[in-house]
Structure 1
Amino acid sequence: MNERGERAGQRGGPLLQVRGLSVSLGRPAVPVLSDVHFTAGAREIVGVVGETGSGKTTLARAVLGLVRPDRGTVEVDGTTVSALRGRALREHRRRGTTQYVFQDPLRSLDPALTLAASVGEALTIRGVPPAERDERVRAALELVGLSPDLGERTPGQVSGGQRQRAAIARAVICEPRVLLCDEPVSALDAAHRNHVLRLLGELRATLGAAIVVISHDLVSLAGVADRVAVLYRGRIVEQGPIREVFDDPRHPYTALLVASAPRVTGRRRHSLDVLRRAAPGEPGGCVYAARCPFATAACAAVPATASAGDRSVACHHADDWPARTAGRTPLVAEGARP
């Protein structure tokens, strides 16, 4: 695994590139994602945050090739996944280039199989000889901090944190280029949550992969991610280095999410009264205009597009609305990473 990580670092460039991605689902078709752009590089953890219904899971499914985009592309390690069909798509999945860690390991792991059998299942399907498979399973379990002896237990015989580690081992045994983690710690208690977050940070270096963490837990992301993309109604309204975005949000929706998250001390960042929701209604131009307390006539008439650069914000008033708020304090104190 280390050797492959080294090759990834030598090539350079993003391992995951999403460009102009738009996805509609259902009949009649309902837009779920609109013109989404983001990247994730080798040894980089990128967080994707947003409320329920914002399109986070659909974005993950598009990266996996499980849904076809209306427009745009998804490229993983040089392969345009969004263009693959039939046998080519099946072969891409068989290679395990992109792997997914589900939110609930108790439901994603077969309750009748031992952890070792679940972790090694992909190798069994590939026809890897039993001796080699067993050795790789032991290495994968040790990589995520599990004793090989636990591999003989079923999911119901271990703790929630151990189950999630086994689920991660099942994903990384294929040496993926992109690892998608869907709310990987939301079902865990505080102690196990911190252990899994530390593990993701360690895997960043060990695998050399790009890791995308889908979460609503801003405090946890602040402790592990390098960059963050904020989704609202299928659009990325803000993205950039996570410390900058959370310590100085430039989009009102990002500020609302940050204000809703408790600090590690248990105190809120600042009062929600400053960012109270406007009266509900259908947005005209900017997708957030109907909820934004700072919206103007221009916001309702003209779509907001993201600014250029590493820090992008889709807001007409990104430079002036923050001046109308006060009392900011860092979301997570320096050195308080899990």
Structure 2
Amino acid sequence: MSAPAPAREAAAAASPEAPLLAVRGIDVSLGRPAVPILRDVSLTVRAGEIVGIVGETGSGKTTLARTIFGLVRPLRGVVEVEGAPVSALDGSRLRAFRRTGRVQLVFQDPLRSLDPDLTVAAIVGEGPAIQGVPAAERREKVARALELVGLDSSVASRTPGQISGGQRQRVSIARAVVSGPRLLVCDEPVSALDASNRNHILRLLDDLRRELGIGVVVISHDLGSLAGIADRVAVLYRGRIVEDGPVTEVFRDPRHPYTALLVASAPRVSGVHGHSLAALRQAGPTGVAGGCVFAHRCPFATSDCSIQPETAVSGDRHVACHHAATWPSAASRLERNHAHG
């Protein structure tokens, strides 16, 4: 996902299966004056795969979702869906692409994203209606979509205000899958739900990717939500991917100090080098400018960190840290020194 550009391109060329989604080296700036939000972000998603994007508030997660969907155009780099350069489309071409329904968004708050005056049937059937699907066929598609997300047919005649929060999020997902998308982009899809509904929705996303063979991007600040369903995870910090790889490897043995902090703060994720974290939290700014975006918080930053790092830990695991192989032991020494100081 965030491997150096030549390595990523070589890996893509060697892969027998082209990625469903390919984000290649995108930069995004927003506002006036322009503020950099995403910097050199790359990731891939293949059919039947769930890729998690994690990071604290302000890391650029939602901007990345909007860029993938085509709502934000990158200043540099490209977003491709099944080989089509979505980021290069504009005007009528972009509208035509959206009408195909190949990429669908699922939003954080279903109550705000669903029209309160429409019935569930009308909400879910909106996409097929835009595509010109005849009414009878549209009703069949809506019924199948509701069944697919585990909703009883009686829900179809109700409005969003007449159903529960968990049901509303299922309606949002039904609306997204009714037109047969190839990619779902879910922006904090369970953060507005209680624990029980959160687990139901996560299992639903897992079932859908298996049953439909679609790719799913799940954006979250909650690592525990991703631990049981994601295949791979990318960790965003200040607009850069600082670590990515198979979710079990990243959560069990985080190699970037920032990832370790996130993992340690997640009650449902274990295996982090816990002895290293006290020293990491206690450390103040290092004064290293430029280069690594985490250097100002990292107690292990050196002059090398003035150059943006990109270290391959293994073929499908990448960590943007010069000290990826050594920082846990360094943290342990620093913590012991602090305890005996």
TM-score, normalization: structure 2? 0.88
Tell me which residue corresponds to 1:254: 259
The answer to whether 1:47 aligns with 2:82 is no
Confirm or deny: 8 A CA contact 2:49 2:215 kept in the other structure: yes
The answer to whether 1:320 aligns with 2:332 is no
Partner amino acid, structure 2, of 1:231? L
Match of 1:117 among 107, 122, 131: 122
Give, in whole Å, the separation in 2 of the partners of 1:151 and 1:312.
Answer: 46
Tell me the CA shift for residue 283 of structure 1.
3.5
Give, in whole Å, the separation in 2 of the partners of 1:130 and 1:263.
Answer: 46
Confirm or deny: 8 A CA contact 1:97 1:177 kept in the other structure: yes
Equivalent residue runs for 1:68-83 within 5 Å: 68-83=73-88
The answer to whether 1:150 aligns with 2:132 is no
Match of 1:161 among 159, 166, 188: 166
Partner amino acid, structure 1, of 2:232? R
Equivalent residue runs for 1:156-195 within 5 Å: 156-195=161-200
Give, in whole Å, the separation in 1 of the partners of 2:26 and 2:263.
Answer: 26
RMSD value over aligned CA atoms?
1.9
Partner amino acid, structure 2, of 1:318? A
Partner amino acid, structure 2, of 1:194? N
Give, in whole Å, the separation in 2 of the partners of 1:264 and 1:192.
Answer: 19
Give, in whole Å, the separation in 1 of the partners of 2:273 and 2:17.
Answer: 37
Give, in whole Å, the separation in 2 of the partners of 1:193 and 1:175.
Answer: 24
Tell me which residue corresponds to 2:274: 270
Confirm or deny: 8 A CA contact 2:300 2:330 kept in the other structure: no
The answer to whether 1:287 aligns with 2:267 is no
Quick one: structure 1 residues 282 and 124, their matched pair in 2 at CA, closer, same or farther if it must change by over 3 Å? farther
Give, in whole Å, the separation in 2 of the partners of 1:306 and 1:170.
Answer: 40
Tell me the CA shift for residue 139 of structure 1.
0.2
Confirm or deny: 8 A CA contact 1:237 1:306 kept in the other structure: no
Equivalent residue runs for 1:123-142 within 5 Å: 123-142=128-147
Tell me the CA shift for residue 268 of structure 1.
9.4
Equivalent residue runs for 1:178-217 within 5 Å: 178-217=183-222
Partner amino acid, structure 1, of 2:181? P
Quick one: structure 1 residues 268 and 205, their matched pair in 2 at CA, closer, same or farther if it must change by over 3 Å? closer
Match of 2:234 among 216, 229, 232: 229
SS in 2 for 1:75: strand
Confirm or deny: 8 A CA contact 2:21 2:79 kept in the other structure: yes
More moved, 272-281 vs 91-100: 272-281
Partner amino acid, structure 2, of 1:169? A
Identity %: 67
Give, in whole Å, the separation in 2 of the partners of 1:184 and 1:147.
Answer: 21
Gaps of 5+ in 1: 1-10, 327-338
Tell me which residue corresponds to 1:38: 43
Give, in whole Å, the separation in 2 of the partners of 1:47 and 1:185.
Answer: 13
Confirm or deny: 8 A CA contact 1:262 1:268 kept in the other structure: no
More moved, 121-130 vs 108-117: 121-130
Give, in whole Å, the separation in 2 of the partners of 1:262 and 1:143.
Answer: 31
Quick one: structure 1 residues 51 and 264, their matched pair in 2 at CA, closer, same or farther if it must change by over 3 Å? closer
Quick one: structure 1 residues 294 and 146, their matched pair in 2 at CA, closer, same or farther if it must change by over 3 Å? same
Confirm or deny: 8 A CA contact 1:197 1:224 kept in the other structure: yes
Give, in whole Å, the separation in 1 of the partners of 2:141 and 2:127.
Answer: 11
SS in 1 for 2:104: strand
Give, in whole Å, the separation in 1 of the partners of 2:83 and 2:113.
Answer: 29
Confirm or deny: 8 A CA contact 2:260 2:272 kept in the other structure: no
Tell me the CA shift for residue 310 of structure 1.
0.6
Confirm or deny: 8 A CA contact 2:27 2:76 kept in the other structure: yes
Q: What count of residue pairs does the alignment treat as equivalent?
A: 314
Tell me the CA shift for residue 48 of structure 1.
0.1
CA offsets 1:250-302 (integer angstroms, 9 cap, x no match): 0000001011111379x998364132153346742211100012112221x22
Runs of 4+ in 1 over 4 A off after TM superposition: none
CA offsets 1:116-135 (integer angstroms, 9 cap, x no match): 11000111222211110001
Gaps of 5+ in 2: 1-15, 333-341
Tell me which residue corresponds to 2:90: 85
